[in-house]
Amino acid sequence: MTEGLVWGLPVVFYLFLAGMGAGTLVVSSSVLLRGGGGPRGIHVDIARYGAFLAPVPVMVGCGLLIFELGSFHTGHWFKWINLYKVINLSPMSIGTWLLTFFIFISLAYAYTFVRNAPYLGENRLSLRRLLAWVSVPLGIGVAVYTGVLLGAMPSRPFWNSPILALLFLMSALSTGVAIILLTRALLHPRKADSEQQLRFHASGYILTSSDILLIGIELVVIFLFIMFAYLTVGDVRYAIATILPGGSLASYFWFGVVAIGLLIPALIELYFVIPRLLYHREYAAPRGVEIVVPLAVLVGGFMLRYVIVIAGQVTGPVGV
Amino acid sequence: MVTDIPPSEQVNRRDFLKKTGSAAVGAGAAGVSSSALAARPEGTKQYGMLIDARRCYGVHACTVACKAKFDVPLGHNRSWVEYIEKGNYPDVTRSFLPRLCNHCSKPNCVSVCPTGATWKREEDGIVVIDPDICIGCKYCILACPYDMRFANPETGAADKCDFCVHRVTEGLEPACVEACPSRARVFGDLNDPDSEISRTIARNPVTVLRPEKGTEPNVFYIAADHSDERNSRVENQYVRVDTNRRYAERR
Q: Does residue A1 form part of some domain? A: no
Which residues from A are below 8 Å from B141, CB to CB?
Answer: 6
CATH number of A115's domain: 1.20.1630.10
Q: How many domains does chain A have?
A: 1
Q: pLDDT tens digits, chain B, 251 residues: what are they?
A: 444 444 444 444 444 444 444 333 333 333 344 444 445 556 789 999 999 999 999 999 999 999 999 888 888 899 999 999 988 889 999 999 999 999 999 999 999 999 999 999 999 999 999 999 999 999 999 999 998 999 999 999 999 999 999 999 999 999 999 999 999 999 999 999 999 999 999 999 999 999 989 999 999 999 998 888 777 777 778 888 888 765 545 55
Greater pLDDT, A318 or A199: A199
Nearest to A153 among B1, B112, B137 (CB): B112
pLDDT of residue B31: 39
Question: Cα distance from B210 to chain A (closest Cα, Å)?
Answer: 5
Quote the pLDDT of residue B28. 36
Residue of B108, B135, B212 with shortest CB distance to A79: B135
Per-residue confidence (pLDDT) for residue A310, from 0 to 100: 94
- The alpha carbon of residue A138 is apart from the nearest alpha carbon of chain B, in Å, by 20
Q: How far is A2 from chain B (nearest CA, A)?
A: 13
Instruction: With respect to residue A3, please indicate whether it lies within any of the assigned structural domains.
Output: no
- What is the per-residue pLDDT for B236? 79
Residues from chain A that touch B210, judged by Cβ atoms under 8 A, are 317, 319-320
B142 and A153 in contact by Cβ < 8 A? yes
Q: What DSSP character marks residue B4?
A: B
> Domains along chain B?
7-242 (3.30.70.20)
User: pLDDT at residue A306 above 60?
Assistant: yes
Residue A271 lies in a domain: yes
Q: Which domain holds residue A47?
A: 9-314
Q: Is residue A4 part of a domain?
A: no
User: What pLDDT was estimated at residue A190?
Assistant: 77
Q: ipTM, 2 decimals?
A: 0.89
The answer to pTM > 0.90 is no
Considering only the beta carbons, identify the residue of B97, B137, B250 that sits closest to A92.
B137
**Candidates B142, B146, B249, partner chain A, best to mutate (most A CBs within 10 A):** B142
Asked whether residue A29 is assigned to any structural domain, the reply reads yes
Predicted local confidence at residue A319, as pLDDT? 58
Residue A184 lies in a domain: yes
Q: Is A235's pLDDT higher than 80? A: yes
Closest chain B residue to the Cα of A91, Cα to Cα = B112
User: CA triplet A286, A218, A242: central angle to 5 degrees?
Assistant: 115
Closest residue, chain B, to A313 (C-alpha): B142
For residues A175-183, average pLDDT: 96
Query: Contacts of residue B209 in chain A, CB cutoff 8 Å?
Result: 320
pLDDT tens, A126-156?
A: 999 999 999 999 999 999 999 999 999 999 9
The per-residue pLDDT for B8 is: 46
CB contact (8 A) between residue A92 and residue B114:
yes
